Amino acid sequence: MKEYTEKEKSFNLLFESTIKNHWVRPALTDYQGQTLSYADVAQQVEQFHLLFQQLGIQRGEKIALCGKNCSNWAVAFFATVTYGAIAVPILHEFKPEQVQNIINHSESRLLFASDNIWKEVENEGLQIEVDNFIGVINLHDYSVLMTNGERLNTIMAQLPQLFNDAYPNGLKPEDIHYQESFGDELAIINYTSGSTGKSKGVMLSQKNLWNNIRFGIDELEDHIAHDGTVVSILPMAHMYGLAFEILSEICMGMHIYFLTKLSPTLIFKAFSEIRPTLVISVPLIIEKIIRRAVVPKLQDVRIRTLLHLPIVGTQIKRRICRKLTKAFGDRFYEVIIGGAAFSEDVENILKDIGFRYTVGYGTTECAPLITYAHWYDFPQGSCGRAIHRMQLRINSNDPANEVGEILVKGDGVMLGYFKNEEATREALDADGWYHTGDLGVIAADGSLYIRGRSKNMLLGPNGQNIYPEEIEDKLNAQILVAESVVIQNNDRLYALIFPDADEVEKMHVTDLKAAMESVRKDVNQELPAYEHIAGIKIMDKEFEKTPKKSIKRFLYLNEKV
């Protein structure tokens, strides 16, 4: 593996190189909308650099972005970081008060936002309390939504002329020289939206971004970059989507398509038309597809009988795999699944039919990737092995057999939490190890197996460790269960269940309470006595989730059963 100097560990350097090398190629497309070439992106980035300069924004100051995925979001991000400013991505699903709090806490001087998001902030009567806050620019068309004084409006109107004055002969690849930023220089403050509580501002450096992108290039470029395309469906304000649907691909010269609206029908229409060379997904999307499109076929009595015949069974599995592969465009190298726990039941099906998938593991604090393995070298049930320039260990006496906290060290690990020294000390020890809060074991071949969150772990009546995620996995495998959360009350376990309405209707269930009681008994037969579910509460709406589709379980821990 090549060694890199600290000066080479720079997102800005990678981005400058890809702009120059892929000048005429298509870069960003809003699906069924505009397309920007790498040259177009470069021109818009230079215009924003002129804007920032005229507004007096200094290197190291913060610029926030809040909106759904689109080409303009990506351009604003590229412009911010390559200028030497610090990008503050804000999830568009955050409440108006959260958006306001993050802008204030990060001390952002400028905000790029969707007009509907800014209207919600204004309608709530919320105020930005940053002393030198300049204003808000619309991500849809770069118009001015709000300004303190007229300076922002004036300079925005002057931008075309400022650009022509700076580049009278037009912008050329040799004109591109981005801010020299590398190593531990701060690039992003990414506010988490975890399943365990309040957001924290994760400080990610140029080196952190570079480490993930460099790994993506080294491992995937030969498989996906030639005439490569990707469909961006994960939030860009979350590091999983940003790093592996946007930054890695753009630095390989690929063409990124943004779905500005999301629905299952639109997603698969886009997949069939674009035929991406790589698919990035969270478990929830894959699990829904498998349970609705594949599981019913496998449960058909005739099909189940034929599956036991050696040759015929193999042919049926291949046919199912081909149909599933075609649904994703039939051209992808692999589907990478990450961001949350993956159902064992669904994974068994994917492995059995020979589908090209792999499961990675990461955290925002590692920008985000920690472990990965190619689909053909991926041990089922694992999350792969530690990526280049990252060390991994389990905090236990027997890491292969005894569950312990997962600790990580290396070029991907964050600088700390912004303006939160106490949280930083809790997460990063004196030797530089990041304490993930996740639990797992490491096999002899280095493969990581996740067992749950340390904060979620429950204690049984005799001190046994209970991992609610493992029980929930068995519950979610039941045909009538859409999703579940296991909680503890007076040393007894209870399941909160949101039923699958489609299956309830299809199976003509008239007594849902009795059906769920049957589910409870069936699942208890698969569990040791100390993990038995004492009762079930049927929920009338889906659980509230983070953008990566993890349930915000802290909201339900005190639910009355």
Among 121-135, 190-204, 425-439, 447-461, the least confident range: 190-204
pLDDT value at residue 198: 64
> What is the phi-psi region of residue 297: left when phi exceeds 0, alpha when psi lies from -120 to 50, beta otherwise?
alpha
Handedness of CA 102, 106, 107, 108 (dihedral sign): negative
Sheet holding 492-499, edge to edge: 481-489, 492-499, 533-538
Q: Judge whether 100 lies within some domain.
A: yes
From 407, 422, 453, give the residue that closes a domain. Answer: 453
Q: What is the mean pLDDT of the chain?
A: 92
DSSP tag of 387: P
Q: Judge whether 105 lies within some domain.
A: yes
The structure tokens 């050329």 sit at 172
From 419, 453, 487, give the residue that closes a domain. Answer: 453
pLDDT value at residue 306: 76
For the cut 80, the answer to whether the pLDDT of residue 547 exceeds it is no
Residue 339, classed as helix, strand or coil, is coil
Total residues belonging to the chain: 561
User: Which residues make Cβ contacts (< 8 Å) with residue 510, sequence separation at least 6?
Assistant: none
Q: What percent of the chain has pLDDT over 90?
A: 75
pTM assigned to the model: 0.85
Alpha helices in 170-309 (DSSP H): 206-224, 239-241, 248-250, 264-274, 283-289, 295-299, 301-307
How much is the average pLDDT of 448-465? 77
Whether residues 298 and 436 share a domain: the answer is yes
Among 125-139, 311-325, 436-450, the least confident range: 311-325
Residue 484 CA to residue 197 CA, distance in Å, equals 19
What is the widest separation between alpha-carbon atoms in the chain? 77
Whether residues 419 and 516 share a domain: the answer is no
Q: Judge whether 202 lies within some domain.
A: no
Q: Judge whether 191 lies within some domain.
A: no
Whether residues 470 and 397 share a domain: the answer is no
pLDDT value at residue 7: 96
Q: Are 172 and 52 in contact (CB under 8 A)?
A: no
How much is the average pLDDT of 414-426? 96
Whether residues 160 and 60 share a domain: the answer is yes
From 453, 469, 492, give the residue that closes a domain. Answer: 453
Q: In whole angstroms, how large is the CA radius of gyration of the chain?
A: 24
**Residue 197: band (very low, low, confident or very high) from pLDDT cuts 50, 70, 90:** low
**How buried is 69 (Cβ within 10 angstroms: 0-12 exposed, 13-18 middle, 19+ buried)?**
buried
Instruction: Report pLDDT digits (tens) over 122-168.
Output: 999 998 999 999 999 999 999 999 999 899 999 999 999 999 999 99
Whether residues 402 and 424 share a domain: the answer is yes
How much is the average pLDDT of 518-547? 91
Whether residues 448 and 465 share a domain: the answer is no
Q: Judge whether 113 lies within some domain.
A: yes
The domain that contains 162 carries what CATH number? 3.40.50.980
The domain that contains 436 carries what CATH number? 3.40.50.12780
Whether residues 55 and 160 share a domain: the answer is yes
Residue 477 CA to residue 487 CA, distance in Å, equals 18
Whether residues 362 and 469 share a domain: the answer is no
Q: Judge whether 188 lies within some domain.
A: no
Whether residues 289 and 422 share a domain: the answer is yes
For the cut 50, the answer to whether the pLDDT of residue 195 exceeds it is no
Whether residues 395 and 291 share a domain: the answer is yes
Q: Judge whether 368 lies within some domain.
A: yes
The domain that contains 520 carries what CATH number? 3.30.300.30
Query: Residue 30 pairs with which residues in a beta bridge?
Result: 258
Residue 107 CA to residue 114 CA, distance in Å, equals 20
Q: 516 is in which domain, residue-wise?
A: 458-555
Count of domains for the chain: 3
Whether residues 285 and 416 share a domain: the answer is yes
Whether residues 402 and 543 share a domain: the answer is no
Q: What percent of the chain has pLDDT over 70?
A: 98
Residue 210 CA to residue 114 CA, distance in Å, equals 28
Q: Judge whether 272 lies within some domain.
A: no
